[in-house]
Chains A and B, each alone.
Chain A
């Protein structure tokens, strides 16, 4: 699956004209599979899998499940697995599970109870089928 964002969607958003990124705010819960062609900001709760270009878990956001993306920024809570070229984990983050990455940054203050395996870039090109791992 291509995780690169497709820019400049040409369809006209007549109702809103809103071309901004998707944002899930507190109070919102999604159970299921999200496929994002671009960026998504999550300050709500997602149970399930997220495929995206850039996935940002805001300080109040929680994701329980798997994230597959080019870039993942975690400011909130992740329980599960991340597969991303670049992962940044900020001060307010709480991470449990596994963080598969090529490059990573972790801020002081983050709470992490996870494995963080490094993988070569081509590993992320073949992630249609996620590996089985035991948490």
Chain B
């Protein structure tokens, strides 16, 4: 029962148990292979991986990541990430932005990515803006495929000249 005899008042003052000390991970830090700006507000240097929005999740709003995102659930809103994977049972209503976007599920809206893959189970309603696209047999696409990713948007000032 020695724990009751010590002076808890002084023990509380000791800084050794500060949250800063405790939250520093003992695990070795992994450097991300991709160029990731230190945008993570709390920890830009911690171990990275793919964030997963599971099957049982529904999100209404925006998702933004400096890392990879895998979506298996439902999203009503825009998704931004490095590599964005839309799983076979997933559904996204909104624009999906990324370096690489892979669609095995359903997207209603738009895709803007350098590399786009629509797999055989993919269902895309809306335009795809890409620099490199692969479409597997069985995929459904209703919309325009525009190889304009990374290019300047068409200047709208043309009208003034005419």
Contacts and interface: CB of A to CB of B under 8 A. Distances in A.
Given A34-B57, A92-B22, A26 B63 contact: no
Contact of A11 (B18, B19, B49, B89): B89
Chain B interface residue number, banded: 35 or more
A44 interface: yes
**Majority secondary structure of chain B interface residues (helix, strand, loop or mixed):** loop
A29 B46 CA distance: 16
A130 to B, nearest CB: 16
B77 interface: yes
A18 B43 contact: no
Contacts, number: 151
A27 B104 contact: no
Most buried by A among B17, B25, B81, B85: B17
B65 A27 contact: yes
B60 interface: yes
B92 interface: no
A60 interface: yes
Interface in B29-66: 36, 39-44, 46, 48-66
A26 B88 contact: no
Contacts of B98: none
Contacts of A23: 51-52
B70 A60 contact: no
**Majority secondary structure of chain A interface residues (helix, strand, loop or mixed):** loop
Most buried by A among B17, B42, B64, B121: B42
Given A23-B52, A45-B41, A60-B23, A40 B57 contact: yes
A32 B59 contact: yes
Contact of A30 (B22, B49, B62): B62
A106 B127 CA distance: 51
A134 interface: no
Contacts of B112: none
Contacts of B42: 26, 45, 60-62, 76-77
A37 to B, nearest CB: 4
B69 interface: yes
Given A22-B73, A60-B43, 14 more contacts: A15-B85, A18-B54, A18-B87, A22-B56, A24-B51, A27-B67, A28-B51, A28-B63, A28-B81, A30-B59, A91-B22, A92-B23, A94-B19, A108-B17
Instruction: List the 6 closest pairs (A to B, CB-CB), nearest first.
Output: A32-B61, A22-B54, A37-B56, A27-B66, A28-B65, A14-B88
Interface of B: 17-19, 22-23, 25, 36, 39-44, 46, 48-67, 69-70, 72-73, 77, 81, 85, 87-89, 104-105, 119, 121
